[in-house]
Amino acid sequence: MKAMLNKVKPLKTDLIPPEGSMPAGVTADGQHQLWKRPIKRVRTQVVKDEKGQEVWKHLPNGEPTVRKRTATVEDGEELFYLRDQGNGNVEKVRYRFPTDEEVAAAKRRQKIAAMQPALAEALVDAGVSPTELLERLRQPAPKAPAPKAPVPPVVEDDFPIDLGEGRWKLSNGQEMEGNEDQALAQEIAVGEARRNAALVPES
């Protein structure tokens, strides 16, 4: 019997929307035509007394039965698409557009699904098993080398020597004119030149 049912071709039914429906674009995945139509929504609210207590209906003997409610009718709109059930019936599926968060989550799932085969191929080509990959990922990252301490400027003791009247003598025997800051800067340059010269191998 089941085999016979499997051979029966599904019925194809035209997706005709209810009267008063208007086209409203397509679903976010682009697979379904959306429709919208005005509807009436009934909203109920529990009746409360002056003290804020719910009001109940009572039987003749005073026993409470159900809460009293007021009803209001509001104009609304429904958004839906139609789906053929394959048995001659057409289903009306209510729809809402996804939020930004839901769209981002869906794109993330798509990226993960697309990455899985590419990652598997890369692991196979590299000869790395999933277990080996996990072990490598668990290893702590190498520490960055500690920054080198700044090299202090080279200044000879007792230099520059103040010769008076804005003249200074440097450690290389040179004399110059200027203020103390200029003389100190020149002495530092002399010391740097002396150190660089010491690093050059003799020919």
pLDDT at 154 over 70: no
Please report the DSSP string for 110-123 in residue order. Answer: HHHHHHHHHHHHHH
Is there a single domain that holds both residue 28 and residue 82?
A: yes
Q: Residue 142 domain-assigned?
A: no
Is there a single domain that holds both residue 109 and residue 77?
A: no
Domain carrying residue 179: 161-199
pLDDT at 4 over 60: no
Strand partners, 70: 45
pLDDT digits (tens, 9 = 90+) for 29-46: 889 999 999 988 888 888
Q: Residue 127 domain-assigned?
A: yes
pLDDT digits (tens, 9 = 90+) for 156-169: 567 888 888 888 88
Is there a single domain that holds both residue 84 and residue 42?
A: yes
The continuous run of DSSP H or E covering 84 comes out as strand 69-84
Is there a single domain that holds both residue 38 and residue 108?
A: no
Q: Residue 149 domain-assigned?
A: no
Is there a single domain that holds both residue 36 and residue 53?
A: yes
107-133 mean pLDDT: 85
Least confident segment among 26-30, 145-149, 192-196: 145-149
Q: Residue 45 domain-assigned?
A: yes
Tokens of 202: 């003799």
Q: Which residue has the tokens 């010391």?
A: 191
Is there a single domain that holds both residue 34 and residue 106?
A: no
Is there a single domain that holds both residue 31 and residue 46?
A: yes
pTM over 0.75: no
Q: Residue 92 domain-assigned?
A: yes
Q: Determine the pLDDT at residue 199.
A: 65
Least confident segment among 44-48, 67-71, 90-94, 119-123: 119-123
Q: Determine the pLDDT at residue 94.
A: 93
Nearest alpha-carbon partner for 175 in 193, 163, 158, 157: 163
Domain tally, the chain: 3
Is there a single domain that holds both residue 92 and residue 64?
A: yes
pLDDT at 82 over 90: yes
